Each structure stands twice: as C-alpha cells, then as structure tokens.
Amino acid sequence: MVQSNLGGLKVAILVTDGFEQVEMTEPRKALDEAGAKTSIVSPKDGRVKAWKFTKWGDEFPVDVPLSQARPGDFDAILLPGGVLNPDKLRMDTNAVMFAQAFLDSGKPVATICHGPWTLIETGKVRGRRLAAWPSLQTDLENAGAEGVDQEAVV
C-alpha cells in the first residue's frame, strides 16, 4: 500500500478523445494510491476514448464536463499527451482557459509527452522549462519556453 502523502489533493485530468492511454491511467493510479482524488475533465460529455500505441484503446467516463469544471475546485492539473488529444484541446478555447487558470494561480501543472501543446496556447510558457516529446522542441522554443527530453522537470 502506498502512503497517503497527497490526501485530499484534487487533481483535474484534462483530456479528450485520443489521449495516450498509459499517460493517463498510470499517473492517475499513482495519484489515487497516494491519496489524491482525480477527476477526468473533458470538453466531451459521457466518455472519452484513449489511444493505445497504434490503435484506439479503452473508453473512460468523464467525471466533470469541462463546461461545469471550475479550476478553483482543483489543486492541480494533469495534461496527458498522445498526439490527437492535445492537438484538439489547444484548439478549444475553454480547455486552454481552464489550463491557463492553473498557471495563473501557481497551482501545480503536470504535462506528459505532447501535453505541453495545450499550455503553449495559453501564452504563459515563456521562461518555463518543460519536459516534452522531442518533436515539440521548436514549438516550445517559439513560445519562449525551454523544452527538455527528460522524464520529469520540476
């Protein structure tokens, strides 16, 4: 059993269809086991469909539709990658504004793989160091951020 060092922490997991399944399920499992309360937030109602390496993966229930989600109800946000997911989210003004609220308030923001694409659209990544998939390096540099190909950056 994992110790509950995140007890009471509420984490929004912002996704839409096409998120890389393992990039949502494994961090969610770790957060939940550490005592956090995770919620899938999505512009889609009902269920979201994951991408699993080279094909469609499992479906997951949306806990909070983005239209009803308030950043103030959460302590942190997780932005999983996959190529389809952040490409759709960064074109959704409400999703971008939701993510931006966490940056503006200084709350923890975790991104995986292509997840930083959504943050680039906020205009708030200048001067930040972000772990990202190598193909995002130019996008991050153009936005004034430093992209690094590392497992984690704090």
Question: What is the number of alpha carbons within 13 Å of residue 51 lying toward its C-beta?
Answer: 15
CA-CA distance, 47 to 97, in Å (whole number)? 22
Answer whether 68's CB lies under 8 Å from 94's CB.
no
Q: Which residues pair with 14 in a beta bridge?
A: 41
Across the chain, the runs of DSSP E, i.e. the strands, are 10-14, 19-20, 37-42, 47-52, 55-61, 64-65, 76-79, 109-111, 129-131, 146-148
Question: What is the number of alpha carbons within 13 Å of residue 39 lying toward its C-beta?
Answer: 19
Going by C-alpha positions, the residue among 100, 145, 111, 147 that lies closest to residue 126 is: 145
- Catalytic (active-site) positions: 113-114
